[in-house]
Structure 1
Amino acid sequence: MKMIFSLSINVHTLIRNRMYFFVHCLKRFKSSQEWLSRQKADPYVEKAKIYNYRCRSAFKLLEMNDKIKILKPGLNVVDLGASPGSWTQVAVQKTNSDGAKPTLPRGSVLSIDKLQIFPIQGATILSNMDFSTTAAHDKVVEILGDTEVDIVLSDMAPSATGVKELDKDRIIGLCYMAIRFAALVSKVNGSLLLKVWDGKEVPILEMDLEKFYTSIKILKPQASRSDSSEKYILARGFKGIQRHL
């Protein structure tokens, strides 16, 4: 009897686990189908193909730059969370770091991501390198050398867990990481552009940024999907930091 009872429990557990797996797969399939449908209907996806950008996010930076002119020939840029490289492509074009326009000043672009970034002419690429690690941070600083950065771009975002509050906390953590880095490498009057998701922590982040920058501006480009909570914070006029002798 004990054996039969035990077998019955095991069969029940097996059925329950399979049902859970089936429902989970069904939800993921539905989510994937919705994503594919949205991609097909998204005009920026098609524009990215036409203009040879690696993904639609290029148009977010292009739109913001059209309004606020943060990128121009001769500037030194660091792009954090750069994969697959569309912001880097825009930065290269706008700073002339590839030397495509010989009569204009030539800037520089350094890009890093823990994912793969295929080469982009005019940019120094650090692929498969997690910026949150000390080794990656030190590598970026080493490559920069004495070069002072005009603008730090951060489109970094954590892998979504599905728990909104947790995900928002994690992206705020990435923002503070970018702020600390920018404080070390930026020239006085430099700029920082950060991606955030709406949440109660954002006003606190803005107040902290005001300690280091003279102006803070919130941007929501049209290329950001209407159902997305993402927005961008532009901090301009880096005040510099006092270093102990």
Structure 2
Amino acid sequence: MLRSYAQNNLNFTRMCFLVNCLKRFKSSQEWLTRQKADPYVEKAKFYNYRCRSAFKLIEINEKTKLLQPGQTVVDLGAAPGSWTQVAVAETNAAGADPARPRGAVLAVDKLQIFPIEGASIMSNIDLSTAEAADRVAAALGGRGVDVVLSDMAPSATGVRELDKDRIIGLCYMALRFAALVSKVNGSFLFKVWDGKEVPMLQMDLERFYERTKVLKPQASRSESSEKFILARGFKGIQRPLQNGRWG
């Protein structure tokens, strides 16, 4: 009987493995089909952006005038670097236009980011640790940040509620960082997945920012639940950091 039970359990495990493989294969095929039919993928290649997400930031910036020449910008979760490319162009961080103020862009990610002209790169940085946040702050050299960008998203588990909880956690991590480095009246743009947690997140943002707005750019796929929240008018922090640390 024990042998029969073990065999049945093994068969069930194999079946679950095969089902999951088929699901991943189907998901990969659907992704490839979308990529081939997606006009933004071709546009990204034509304009030399590292991925199609550049057009999400471009569209948001056209509507909001978020990025301006001379600004200091930090791009969190920057890999592979398309948002950083847009930020460099809009802030004149590479000095392409001598007639405009020259900005500064710092790109940060846990993953490797290949060099981008006009941007400072910090790869292999996990902002969930106080030490990493201190390193990023030190790299700014005491310069206040005008705009914090975050296109961060967790690796999908396939469990919808768990994935939403994980991206909300990333949003709060990015908010904490933004609150500690931003200039008064600075801005914060970040990605979120639609859900019941979003209104509460907006309420928390209002403690630090004068106004917030939810945006859904056309470059964001219609079937995707992703949205972007833009918070503007940073109020500043009311109390000093303890011992100069990020904790």
TM-score (norm 1): 0.94
Alignment of structure 1 residues 66-215 onto 2, 5 Å? 66-215=62-211
Separation of aligned partners in 2, 1:210 and 1:112: 25
The alpha carbon displacement at 1:174 in A equals 1.2
C-alpha offsets along residues 207-240 of structure 1, whole Å, 9 cap, x if unaligned? 1111111111111100000001111111111111
Separation of aligned partners in 2, 1:140 and 1:9: 55
In the alignment, structure 1 segments of 5+ residues that lack a partner are none
In the alignment, structure 2 segments of 5+ residues that lack a partner are 242-247
Work out which of the residue numbers 11, 18, 25 in structure 2 matches 1:29: 25
Where does residue 220 of structure 1 map in the other structure? 216
Moved more, 231-240 or 11-20: 11-20
Where does residue 13 of structure 2 map in the other structure? 17
Separation of aligned partners in 2, 1:84 and 1:135: 23
Separation of aligned partners in 1, 2:240 and 2:5: 68
The alpha carbon displacement at 1:166 in A equals 1.5
Work out which of the residue numbers 32, 37, 48 in structure 1 matches 2:44: 48
SS in 2 for 1:30: helix
Tell me which amino acid in the other structure corresponds to 2:225: S
SS in 2 for 1:226: coil
Where does residue 242 of structure 1 map in the other structure? 238
Separation of aligned partners in 1, 2:5 and 2:199: 52
Work out which of the residue numbers 225, 229, 236 in structure 2 matches 1:229: 225
Tell me which amino acid in the other structure corresponds to 2:189: L
Q: Which of the pair has more CA radius of gyration?
A: 1
SS in 2 for 1:130: coil
SS in 2 for 1:152: strand
Identity over aligned residues, as a percent? 73
Residues 128 and 65 of structure 1: is their aligned pair in 2 closer, same or farther, counting only changes over 3 Å?
A: same
Aligned residues: 241
C-alpha offsets along residues 95-154 of structure 1, whole Å, 9 cap, x if unaligned? 011111111110000011111111101111111221212221111011112100000001
C-alpha offsets along residues 160-211 of structure 1, whole Å, 9 cap, x if unaligned? 1111111111111111111111111111111000111111111111111111
The alpha carbon displacement at 1:68 in A equals 0.4
TM-score (norm 2): 0.93
Separation of aligned partners in 2, 1:166 and 1:41: 30
